[in-house]
Amino acid sequence: FSDPFNGGINVPNVDVFIQGNPELIPEVAKTNVVGAVYRPGWLPGFAISLDRIDLKLRNAITSLGGQALLNLCFEGNQQACNSVIRDGNNNLIRVNNSSFNLDRLHFISYDVEMSYRQPALGGNLSIRAYISYLERLRSEDLNAVPMEDAGEITTPRWRGLLTASYDRGIFQSFVQARYIGASNLNNQLTASDVAFNRVGAAVYLDAQIGARVTDNMEVSLNVQNLLDREPPFSPETESSSPVNQN
């Protein structure tokens, strides 16, 4: 841990206890979903849909992490300070990482799906495309400071999926392309904080072939990441203890 109470000095061997919080109250959500589906008569078998999801959550339950709790305590949040344990010499010895109720969380996303199914070559061909855009994933910490998580590694703004399947008789085949958009390591970091804060976009290809042996049995061969693509470079942050040069 980096202890802001002691000039940011690095403190090793700090215990982190994961525990519950009996003071939690239920989350309350309001969700609005607006959608439309279009199936043109001039192109049988084709359909396109668009959905907008707007979710507002009060008293959102989350676990902030030990370092975040320590930083919030330094900023004057008493609830976070209750989770920071020190010895008689004011040395940091333990952080109790429990769940807390945040003030609110706001989520907005747009989803587009297109599908097409037609007979082909004596069988059936199905094509499906799915695109998702995450406009907002905003939450507030215990000090009611807004944080925007949309566009980070775990929640990229863009995601996509393109699949094509073909079946004929007892045989089936399937191919899928997965797209994960470029994202930041942390939206709160700037160029002065870290040299690399961007993770590139990636596309992975999956494939499967199979056959129905009986009415109750199928045999298939599935390969994830068929082209054996390496993941994009993902930066990590690391702190080390200061070196005594005396």
Q: What is the mean pLDDT of residues 222-239?
A: 79
Position 244, amino acid: N
Q: Is pLDDT of 223 > 70? A: yes
C-beta separation of 203 from 178 below 8 A: yes
DSSP assignment letter at 242: P
Tens digits of residue pLDDT in 53-98: 999 998 888 877 788 888 888 888 888 888 888 888 888 888 888 8
Task: Locate all alpha helices (DSSP H) within 25-146, ordered by sequence.
Answer: 66-74, 78-81
At residue 231, the pLDDT reads 86
Question: What is the number of helices (H) and of strands (E) in the chain?
Answer: 2, 18
C-beta separation of 141 from 64 below 8 A: yes
What is the number of other CB atoms lying within 10 angstroms of the CB of residue 122? 7
Q: Is pLDDT of 102 > 80? A: no
Q: What is the mean pLDDT of residues 187-205?
A: 83
At residue 180, the pLDDT reads 95
C-beta separation of 126 from 116 below 8 A: yes
Q: What percent of the chain has pLDDT over 70?
A: 93
Q: Which of 115, 135, 136 is nearest to 126 (CA)?
A: 115
Task: Give me the torsion for CA of 144, 149, 153, 159, rounded to 10°.
Answer: 160
Strand partners, 20: none
Q: What percent of the chain has pLDDT over 90?
A: 43
The segment with the largest mean pLDDT, out of 50-59, 69-78, 118-127, 194-203, is 50-59
C-beta separation of 94 from 85 below 8 A: yes
At residue 141, the pLDDT reads 67
Strand partners, 221: 209
Min mean pLDDT across 58-62, 206-210, 227-231 is at 58-62
At residue 50, the pLDDT reads 97
**Residue-averaged pLDDT of the chain:** 86
Residue with tokens 């994202």: 183
At residue 96, the pLDDT reads 85
The three-point CA angle 102-4-155 to 5° equals 40
Tens digits of residue pLDDT in 6-49: 888 888 888 888 888 888 899 999 999 999 999 999 999 999 99
At residue 240, the pLDDT reads 44
**Model confidence at 222, in pLDDT bands (50, 70, 90)?**
very high
Tell me the C-alpha distance between 213 and 219, whole Å: 7
**Model confidence at 107, in pLDDT bands (50, 70, 90)?**
very high
Tell me the C-alpha distance between 213 and 169, whole Å: 11
Q: Is pLDDT of 244 > 80? A: no
Q: Is pLDDT of 212 > 90? A: no
Q: Is pLDDT of 202 > 80? A: yes
Tell me the C-alpha distance between 52 and 234, whole Å: 30
DSSP assignment letter at 108: E
